């Protein structure tokens, strides 16, 4: 790739990210945010309009200069990102537009909870979503996430204890596709989504703490997602909480591991054992019983929140991020977030750091955003590298040919 082409690609990415983060802007505003000259910006926006990346909006009059201006915004009508989240009970898939909004979402409950059955459902769902997007030419990539330890470089689920998976080549099992397929852990996908679309979008460093059926942490350090040497960064299943609990023994032999004490699975098992819910009841039924006024159910969930607070304090002290974002089944009981922050403050070296603990900002469709954010991130890092040579009906030009040969 020539130096000029590399510069064009970086500049295009700058403009795309500015529009993602700030919404519709005039060209003069974009120039101020990116430092690009008016001449360069005119060429770049003309290319982006031709490639269906951005569109011009209605003329706006007034402003600082009093002259009419034509804002531009991301074109959300053409391209799509596919996201697939493979969970313990279901696979959730959907489509994101270029602005990160969910335009389609669909969940499939596992009919055959075997490896072959779950992967077949994922393949079928991806094909269904590609058709809903308008065909393969409209899909820029597929992101696939699941729990456990996932190696994104190899596209392999190294270990997912709850599904019983080990060394599953997820990319090849769900592929092939005529576009990039990226794989990672669900927690790291959600950490990316929070950075682009959620509570952490204006931060340089953040931690996403997920406590649900699985537990884990997604670490954004100075704007980069940390994977670790063995793709194990953020593995906190065996984080010792020092709690005096007589629950299930962890596979490591201890009783005080985070996953054994605070995951949805562990808390539900304790509720079943205590007779608070029926033997086959769901976690949601425990939450419902707590809210109906049952003190034992409420106490169990409050204790879980306090244990999550101890975990948050450890991560805040260790990494000192701008923000710690919470996600997972933990947020089904927002009434206990105060107890969580109080427990964190008691354990923190600097108690006021507990004020940095906030719930997820992803809202509905978080599983789709978390999975599709793998390809959304890749796109906004180098959009030219992921675009087709030209959209259907758009003539090729020198810029487009240069992209195709890179």
- The answer to which of 24-28, 243-247, 325-329, 384-388 has the lowest mean pLDDT is 243-247
Integer Cα distance of 88 and 164 in angstroms: 10
Query: What is the pLDDT at residue 1?
Result: 67
198-204: long-range pairs with CB below 8 Å, 24+: 198/325, 198/360, 198/361, 198/362, 198/369, 199/323, 199/325, 199/358, 199/359, 199/360, 199/361, 199/362, 200/322, 200/323, 200/325, 200/361, 201/21, 201/361, 203/321, 203/322, 203/323, 204/322
Question: Per the domain annotation, does 118 fall within a domain?
Answer: yes
Residues 208 and 169 placed together within one structural domain of the fold = no
Residue 22 has pLDDT above 60, yes or no: yes
Is there a single domain that holds both residue 99 and residue 71?
Answer: no
Number of domains in the chain: 3
pLDDT of residue 76: 96
Residue pair 198/325 in contact (Cβ under 8 Å)? The answer is: yes
Of the three residues 77, 102, 132, the one that is the final residue of a domain is 77
- Same domain for 313 and 302, yes or no, is yes
- For residue 389, is it within any domain? no
Q: Is the pLDDT of residue 401 over 60?
A: no
| Whether residue 333 sits in one domain with residue 216 | yes
| CATH code (residue 49) | 1.10.10.10
Residue 166 and residue 122 in one domain: yes
- Do 274 and 329 lie in one domain? The reply is yes
* Same domain flag for 306 and 248: yes
Q: How many angstroms separate the CA atoms of 76 and 193, rounded?
A: 18
* Predicted local confidence at residue 176, as pLDDT: 75
> Does the structure show a pLDDT above 60 at 393?
no
Q: Is the pLDDT confidence value at 399 over 50?
A: no
Q: What is the arithmetic mean of pLDDT over 93-116?
A: 96
As a whole-number percent, the residues of the chain with pLDDT over 90 amount to 83
Predicted local distance difference test score (pLDDT) of residue 66: 59
Question: Is the predicted pLDDT of residue 385 greater than 70, yes or no?
Answer: yes
Asked whether residue 396 is domain-assigned, the answer is no
**In whole numbers, what is the pLDDT of the chain averaged over residues?**
91
Inside any domain, residue 403: no
**Cα distance from N-terminal residue to C-terminal residue, the chain:** 5
Shared domain for 166 and 60, answered yes or no, is no
Residue-wise pLDDT tens digits, 191-231: 999 999 999 998 999 999 999 999 999 999 998 999 999 99
Indicate whether 68 and 84 sit together in one domain.
no
The pLDDT of 160-172, averaged and rounded, is 93
CA pair distance 109, 88, nearest whole angstrom: 9
Residue 353 placed within a domain: yes
pLDDT mean over 27-52: 94
With bands split at pLDDT 50, 70 and 90, how would you rate the model's confidence at 293?
A: very high
Residue 349 lies in a domain: yes
Residue 120 in domain: yes
- Are residue 129 and residue 109 in the same domain, yes or no? yes
Please say which residue of 62, 77, 92 terminates a domain.
77
Residue 390 lies in a domain: no
The CA distances from residue 41 to 4, 15, 38, 167, 311, in Å, are 15, 8, 5, 46, 46
* Strands 102-109 and 224-225, bridge-based pairing: unpaired
Q: Distance between CA atoms of 73 and 97, rounded to whole angstroms?
A: 13
The per-residue pLDDT for range 45-97, each reduced to its tens digit, is 999 999 999 999 988 876 555 567 899 999 999 999 999 999 989 999 999 99
Q: What is the pLDDT of residue 397?
A: 44
pLDDT at residue 356 in the model: 97
Mark whether 211 and 350 lie in a shared domain: yes
Claim to verify: residue 290 and residue 342 sit in the same structural domain: yes
Among residues 43, 77, 111, the one where a domain terminates is 77
**Range name among 32-46, 49-63, 256-270 with the lowest pLDDT average:** 49-63
For 292, the domain range is 199-359
What would the mean pLDDT of 232-241 be, rounded to a whole number? 93
pLDDT at 396: 47
From the list 107, 53, 117, the residue with the least C-alpha distance to 83 is 107
CATH number reported for the structural domain that contains residue 143 in this entry:
3.30.420.40
């Amino acid at each position: 790739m020539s130096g000029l082409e590399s510069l064009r690609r970086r500049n295009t990415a700058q403009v795309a990210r500015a529009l993602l983060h700030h919404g519709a802007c005039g060209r003069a505003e974009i120039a101020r945010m990116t430092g690009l000259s008016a001449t360069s910006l005119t060429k770049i926006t003309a290319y982006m309009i031709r490639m269906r990346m951005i569109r011009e909006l209605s003329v706006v009059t007034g402003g600082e200069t009093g002259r009419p201006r034509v804002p531009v915004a991301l074109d959300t009508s053409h391209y799509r990102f596919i996201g697939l989240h493979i969970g313990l009970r279901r696979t959730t898939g959907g489509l994101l537009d270029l602005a990160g909004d969910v335009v389609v979402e669909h969940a499939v409950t596992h009919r055959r909870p075997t490896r072959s059955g779950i992967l077949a459902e994922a393949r079928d769902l991806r094909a269904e979503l590609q058709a809903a997007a308008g065909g393969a030419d409209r899909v820029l990539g597929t992101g696939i996430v699941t729990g456990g330890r996932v190696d994104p470089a190899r596209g392999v689920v190294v270990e997912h204890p709850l599904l019983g998976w080990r060394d599953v080549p997820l990319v090849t099992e769900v592929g092939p596709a005529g576009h990039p397929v990226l794989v990672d852990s669900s927690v790291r996908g959600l950490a990316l989504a929070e950075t682009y679309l959620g509570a952490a979008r204006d931060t340089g460093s953040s931690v996403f703490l997920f406590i649900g059926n699985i537990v884990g942490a997604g670490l954004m350090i100075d704007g980069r997602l940390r994977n670790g040497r063995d793709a194990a960064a953020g593995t906190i299943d065996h984080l010792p909480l020092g709690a005096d609990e007589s629950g299930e023994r962890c596979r490591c032999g201890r009783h005080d591991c985070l996953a054994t004490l605070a995951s949805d699975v562990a808390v539900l098992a304790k509720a079943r054992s205590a007779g608070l819910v029926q033997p086959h009841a769901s976690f949601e039924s425990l939450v419902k019983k707590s809210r109906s006024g049952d003190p034992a159910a409420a106490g169990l969930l409050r204790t879980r929140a306090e244990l999550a607070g101890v975990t948050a304090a450890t991560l805040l002290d260790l990494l000192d991020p701008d923000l710690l974002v919470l996600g997972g089944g933990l947020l089904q009981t927002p009434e206990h977030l105060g107890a969580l922050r109080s427990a964190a403050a008691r354990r923190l070296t600097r108690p006021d750091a507990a004020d940095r603990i906030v719930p997820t900002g992803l809202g509905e469709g978080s599983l789709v955003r978390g999975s599709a954010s793998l390809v959304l991130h890749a796109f906004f890092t180098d959009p030219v590298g992921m675009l087709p040579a030209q959209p259907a009906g758009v003539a090729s030009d020198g810029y487009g040919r240069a992209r195709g040969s890179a």
